[in-house]
Amino acid sequence: MSDRLVLSHMGLVTSPSQSPDSAIAPTIHAHGLKLSLGSGDNAVEILRGIDLVVPRGQTLALLGPSGSGKSSLMAVLSGLERAGAGSLTVAGQDFARLDEDALARARRGRIGVVLQAFHLLPTMTALENVATPLELAGTPDAHVRAAAELTAVGLGHRLSHYPAQLSGGEQQRVAIARALAPRPELVFADEPTGNLDARTGAQIVDLLFARRAEAGSTLLIITHDEALARQCERVVTLADGRIASDTLAAHDVSDTVG
């Protein structure tokens, strides 16, 4: 799933202009999402009726243990898996009604992804990893834009280095630059510190939040780390394919959402 997620975003383009209505609408509006694997008596329910509304610009953690449905929900919300039932609008696009080609177009420029294993292209430099998707999409001055984004994540001196020449923290910084360069409306970060030591992980989280704020993006962090989840404005806990709790963080308001 991770490789597919990266490849689906290699055609990043600048987000289209938004109407006033789309600027007010939530980034994500999901109702009754269900997902099953298999069919008939062998069907296994993965998502069991997810209702989720995420306002624009919010930072939200999807928290839960392995097998709770976090990754499956991320796949559905990003348009890589189609729910078996329910409605889903993401960044103003009706994901439930779009075919595969239309979903791919709808994701471009609207959704950025940061993954645990970085998934940089090993034969490309840091600059090329960030610039190539923009070039393929016809973004003007792609290399200039990529260099500026890499400088913003502290890698202005590493533009010509290949992934194998970079530390894990540096590779994740490149991945953040790649995800945020198109200024997407929505960013998914799937266990972004999972392959990093605690000190480097904390730096990456701070950087991710800072770059997200600069871009004005909505951020969903998929994690099993409660400490990381508490840094978000809102924490949605999944258990057995359902939302077990939905709370605003203590630094915001500690009441249950919705």
Q: Where are the domains of the chain?
A: 2-19+55-81+99-248
Tens digit of pLDDT at every position of the chain (258 positions)? 444 444 444 433 333 334 444 457 899 999 999 999 887 778 889 999 999 999 999 999 999 998 999 999 999 999 989 999 999 999 999 998 898 888 888 888 789 999 999 999 999 999 999 998 888 777 899 999 999 999 999 999 999 999 999 999 999 999 999 999 988 999 999 999 999 999 999 999 999 999 999 999 999 999 999 999 999 999 999 999 999 999 997 654 444 454
33: nearest Cα among 189, 244, 242, 238: 242
Residue 113 and residue 9 in contact, taking contact as beta carbons nearer than 8 Å: yes
| pTM confidence score | 0.85
Estimate the share of the chain in helix, then strand, then coil, as percent rounded to the nearest 5: 35, 25, 40
Q: Residue 138 has what pLDDT? A: 79
Residue tagged 């997620």 (tokens): 5
207: nearest Cα among 176, 239, 246, 241: 176
Cα–Cα distance measured from residue 133 to residue 137, given in angstroms and rounded to the nearest whole number = 6
Q: Which CATH superfamily is domain 2-19+55-81+99-248 in?
A: P-loop containing nucleotide triphosphate hydrolases (3.40.50.300)
Q: Residue 257 has what pLDDT? A: 52
Between the alpha carbon of residue 100 and those of residues 5, 16, 127, 184, the distances in Å are 14, 20, 30, 20
Cα–Cα distance measured from residue 111 to residue 113, given in angstroms and rounded to the nearest whole number = 7
Count of Cβ atoms closer than 10 Å to residue 228 Cβ: 19
